[in-house]
Amino acid sequence: MLKPVILEVHDLPELWFRALWELWNRHSGDSREYMVQHGSFSGSHRRKEFDFFLGHVRHPGKRPLTPIIPEGSNISPPTSMEAIETYFAEYIMGAEVAENETYTYGSRINLSLEKVIGLLKETPDTNQAIIEIGKPEDILNSDPPCLRLIDCRIKNGRLHFFIYFRSWDLWAGLPQNLGGLQLLKEYMAGEIGVEDGEMIVSSKGLHVYDYVWGQVEEMIKYR
């Protein structure tokens, strides 16, 4: 039986920490550990993974956007604000695809970004403002996008994001991805003329690779 995990949190650093804590403290059968069989690190690394994860972040724009690492620990920060800003500018907003890439999130996002902004300006109650990153032909891609969907909603004068990842690295991917997507939401809210809102994020593949398990175990001691 699948056992979804649902978290209500204040901000992005809390989401990251609580998701790590939950993954490491689930009862047997509530999460799984397995050798990767396809895609990144196939046959060389193991994962711990939730059956399904949903996180509701009430104030995702609260700074810092980055995880809070305890002073004096030996934990390497998974990202930085500078890295998030670069990721936003080059990979979420940038549409250029390098020779060794088949896509970037920006190359997909930019196909509909201005249309979605215009739609939300003209009809703020619409249910059609969706930025789709995934394409049917991605099933043929050896490294298909992890981020598949950014669904947008205006309620009470605020822009909210509903985000889905098919597969998602909790340790390093989540803080960088959501930091960058938060900057996207703030940009879009400014263009539309509304306030920044909440995030609801989900994945059936939120995981941590074995090469950082030691750091995770040290991190969750600080609860």
Question: Which superfamily does 5-222 belong to?
Answer: Thymidylate synthase/dCMP hydroxymethylase domain (3.30.572.10)
pLDDT in tens, 82-97: 999 999 999 999 988 8
pLDDT at 24: 92
Q: Percentage of the chain surpassing pLDDT 90?
A: 78
53 three-class SS: strand
30 pLDDT above the threshold of 70: no
> Average pLDDT, whole number, for the chain?
92
Whether the pLDDT of residue 29 is over 60: the answer is no
78 prior amide bond cis, ω within 30: no
Whole-Å CA distances, 215 to 8, 33, 126: 24, 17, 43
